[in-house]
Amino acid sequence: MDSQQKLARILGVTDGTLDNFVRSISASTGKTGVLEKLAQENEKIISETLAKINNVGGVTPSAVEGSADHVRGALQKAIFYHEKQFLDFLRNVEGNNEFEKAANLSRSLARAGRGFFLKKDFIKEIFSRRRPANLLNYLGYQSVNELISHNDLLEAFSALRFVESDEWMHQTFAEAYGGFNAGDFEERDIEIRVLSDKWHDIAKKFVEKKHHNVSHLKEFGVIFLNPIKMDIPGKFLRDFALLLHYFHEIEFYSKLFKKYSVKPDFAEKFKSLLRGDVKELTDVSQKNTWLIVQRYLVKDNPQDPRLFQPRVNPESIHWTKGERDLASISEKTGGKVDLSLWFNLDWVGGLFQGDADDPSTEVGAGEVVSFDLEDNAMSLVSFMEGKKEALTYHQREAMWTKIFAEYAGGEEKLEEMILDNFDKGYIVL
């Protein structure tokens, strides 16, 4: 395969689709050779990374030769080793437990600023309008007033997703979020909370189901950690990277809240942002159009037609920034913990020899291997749980975003164009 054919396979589109895209966008922007350049950079980074992980955590050269499974295994061994390094360092960070230590460390690493968030007093209003029956029952209360009087409201609001049904959450969102305006928001710092012991039992069930300890409330500018220890290799490092990612995701959405706060249809735009709405292909007819896809569509439907079109995903930007923060830990530890390997790997993917016995693998096509930290950490966790998942969706979205950045003029221009066109749901180059 030539470089374009390889990229097409890594991106999950046909060579013809990618060729048509290249011809069209080259004619529109005047830029040529972009994909060839990226393909060369991709191969160079793969080669350099494989050489590096030969020296990480006792991975031997033979482990990275040939098959896709061997390469994935080597990447996962590197994660295992780096997580151990990270946890050893974390012991010396201030905090009563690993989760408090992680929260404190993330504050010092994350390069995110203040934001424009919904005032906390509105939590009382939401609870008063929509009685959280399951939450009250869990806490043993008879009234909303008891809930408000005896709890940290941010913690209680965070716990809603553990105890209330999806139907209740959707209805609350529809009824309680439709009347907000600019005056209901204020500038303040992004917060990170470690939930208290009172939420332990219900949080434990949530973590066992969702397999992660970290979540957030964009509208209130809050990241929260469920202090539920799960001794699964790769999981803690995965969740810490997600924690850093959330700082940037919250900051990004805060910019949109402020941008739209002066619009007459602010409430509807606000709800759309929180829902993660994505335009359908039928809504877009222009050439050289990139959909703005603000969530991972593949998790809902791997055959979603929007997954086979050029797109840019803000999630990729948040991950890039979060992994940059993660890599900066090397400076903080004087090189004792070096996670720089994982920076700029988010978009990198290669084709390696697949399982000859796997009928889904085309002869000579190879299997796609993601070099992204999150894909590999999640795959490692999956493996330790007895499953065999080789995830690539973070890498695939990041590669599309990387391609867009090359045509758009770099990372800063990329984010600027996304923010400017977010309400439309697409960008025309």
Q: For residue 270, give the amino acid letter.
A: F
Q: What is the DSSP string of 19-64?
A: HHHHHHHHHHH---SHHHHHHHHHHHHHHHHHHHHTTSTT--GGGG
Identify the CA nearest to 75 among candidates 367, 406, 341. 341
State residue 316's pLDDT score. 96
State residue 423's pLDDT score. 93
**Taking a C-beta distance cutoff of 8 angstroms, is the pair 274, 218 a contact?**
yes
At 411, is the secondary structure helix, strand, or coil? helix
* Strands lying side by side in the sheet with 191-194: 191-194, 222-225, 214-217
**Taking a C-beta distance cutoff of 8 angstroms, is the pair 256, 422 a contact?**
yes
- Sequence-ordered list of residues with C-beta below 8 angstroms from that of 326, at least 6 positions apart, any chain: 109, 240, 241, 244, 339, 342, 343, 373
State pTM to two decimals: 0.92
**Would you list the domain boundaries of the chain?**
3-69+275-380+391-428, 98-272
Whole-Å CA distances, 18 to 14, 356, 401: 6, 27, 15
pLDDT in tens, the chain (429 residues): 789 999 999 999 999 989 988 988 898 889 999 999 999 999 999 999 999 987 665 555 444 457 899 999 999 999 999 999 999 999 999 999 999 999 999 999 998 889 999 999 999 999 999 999 999 999 999 999 999 999 999 999 998 888 888 889 888 888 899 889 999 999 999 999 998 888 888 777 777 666 678 889 999 999 999 888 778 888 899 999 999 999 999 999 999 999 999 999 999 999 999 989 999 988 777 778 899 999 999 999 999 999 998 999 999 999 999 999 999 998 888 888 899 999 999 999 999 988 654 544 454 568 999 999 999 999 998 888 788 889 999 999 999 999 999 999 999 999 999 999 999 999 988
Identify the CA nearest to 176 among candidates 168, 165, 186. 168
Q: What angle do CA 341, 342, 345 make, to 5 degrees?
A: 110
Identify the CA nearest to 106 among candidates 219, 216, 233, 258. 216
> Could you give the residue ranges of the DSSP H alpha helices within 152-265?
153-163, 166-176, 200-210, 235-260
Two structure tokens written together for 89: 């360092």
Backbone angles phi, psi at 325, to 5 degrees: -60, -45
